[in-house]
């Protein structure tokens, strides 16, 4: 079997869930169940209060650590915020940027997303940048327009070298936490569009090397069909990442498909 051109990634976004004790419990189970991970990158993104403890437990494991957000300044009078350097010190190598919940509830804009991605790269964190349309936008026939604008807003002033270090996540807002997953064909259509935008803006090498994850009601039962699509390189998982059985089963399903996919 050929090696996949783009390594599959499964990232768990715990959102506002898990006390320190619960986080330790979950990650201890995950570490045990996923000790033989191969062909797939696994990342967990706990809340800030638990990130150091989770990082310590994961230190010698195959599972990697990410933050759920960051601020673009390194330090200063920004109450409630956290910097890239702080995440890095806690053991993180990844950070989610521009999640639709941040855009919806916390006034995240394309401009702040852009600054945050730059700050992540400056601190050697790999940003997982989320873009996606609402139901109203999809039903109004504006999906590609919205995705295109989010893409340009996030990466307008990026160099090829910077862009290579980014991971994208297509998360249709109507599929997040609703149980209403996009069909593999619906997701693939948008992933292909994003890859074309990447190609136009940054050239073939960046477009074909960059991973685009899908997010929105991903479960053990639908991950395989999603990542069989040529442009879907993994998943950003919310609800199903909160429980060890479900998340490890989901990763195992992905590991079965991983060696077969991504061959363009």
Q: Among 237, 251, 257, 258, which residue sits at the site for ligand PGA (rule: CB under 6 A)?
A: 237
Is 191 noted as a catalytic residue in this protein?
A: no
The burial of 246, by beta-carbon neighbours within 10 Å (0-12 exposed, 13-18 middle, 19 or more buried), is given as middle
In order, the DSSP letters of 9-58 are: EEEEE--S---HHHHHHHHHHHHHHTTT--SEEEEEE--HHHHHHHHHHH
In angstroms, what is the minimal distance from the CB of 15 to ligand PGA?
7
CA dihedral (192, 197, 199, 200) positive or negative? positive
Catalytic site includes residue 171: yes
Pick 66 or 238: Cβ nearer ligand PGA:
238
CB of 241 vs ligand PGA, minimal distance in Å: 7
Given a contact cutoff of 8 angstroms between Cβ atoms, the answer to whether 110 and 148 are in contact is no
Specify the residue, 13 or 40, whose C-beta has the smaller distance to ligand PGA: 13
Residue nearer to ligand PGA on the CB measure, 51 or 96: 96
Catalytic residue among 99, 133, 137, 197: 99
User: Can you tell me the distance from the alpha carbon of 93 to that of 65, in angstroms, rounded to the nearest whole number?
Assistant: 6
| Closest by Cα among 177, 186, 188, 256 to 218 | 177
Single out the residue of 67, 172, 220, 239 in contact with ligand PGA (rule: CB under 6 A): 239
| Active-site option among 108, 133, 171, 197 | 171
CB of 37 to ligand PGA, least distance (A): 20
Task: Report which residue's Cβ sits closest to ligand PGA.
Answer: 238
104: left (phi over 0), alpha (psi -120 to 50) or beta: alpha
In the shown chain, the binding pattern of residues 117 to 156 toward ligand PGA, with x for contact by CB under 6 A and - for none, equals ----------------------------------------
Binding residues for ligand PGA restricted to 165-224, rule: CB under 6 A = 171, 176-177, 215-218
Q: 81: part of which helix (H) or strand (E)?
A: none
Closest approach of ligand PGA to the CB of residue 2, in Å: 30
| 41 backbone dihedrals φ, ψ, rounded to 5° | -90, 130
| Nearest partner of 238 among 254, 219, 223, 252, judged by Cα | 219
Residues of the shown chain interacting with ligand PGA in the complex, contacts defined by CB under 6 A = 13, 171, 176-177, 215-218, 236-240
Catalytic residues: 99, 171
């Amino acid at each position: 079997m050929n090696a996949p051109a783009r390594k599959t990634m499964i990232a768990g976004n715990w959102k506002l869930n898990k006390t320190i004790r619960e986080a330790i419990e979950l990650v201890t189970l995950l570490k045990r169940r996923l000790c033989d991970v191969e062909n797939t990158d696994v990342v967990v993104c706990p809340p800030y209060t638990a990130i150091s403890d989770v990082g310590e437990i994961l230190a010698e494991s195959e599972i990697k650590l990410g933050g759920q957000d960051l601020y673009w300044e390194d330090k200063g009078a920004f109450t409630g915020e956290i910097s890239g350097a702080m995440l890095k010190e806690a053991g993180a190598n990844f950070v989610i940027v521009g999640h639709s919940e941040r855009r919806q509830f916390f006034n995240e804009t394309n401009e702040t997303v852009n600054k945050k991605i730059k700050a992540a790269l400056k601190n050697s964190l790999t940003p997982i940048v989320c873009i996606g349309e609402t139901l109203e936008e999809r039903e109004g026939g504006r999906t590609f327009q919205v995705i295109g604008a989010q893409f340009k807003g996030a990466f307008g002033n990026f160099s090829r070298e910077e862009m290579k270090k980014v991971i994208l996540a297509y998360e249709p807002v109507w599929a997040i936490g609703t149980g209403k997953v996009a069909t593999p064909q619906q997701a693939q259509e948008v992933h292909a569009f994003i890859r074309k935008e990447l190609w136009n803006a940054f050239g073939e090498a960046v477009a074909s090397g960059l991973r685009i994850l899908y997010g929105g009601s991903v479960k053990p039962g639908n991950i395989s069909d999603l990542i069989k699509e040529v442009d879907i390189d993994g998943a950003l998982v919310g609800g199903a990442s909160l429980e060890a059985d479900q998340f490890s089963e989901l990763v195992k399903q992905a590991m079965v498909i991983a060696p077969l996919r991504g061959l363009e």
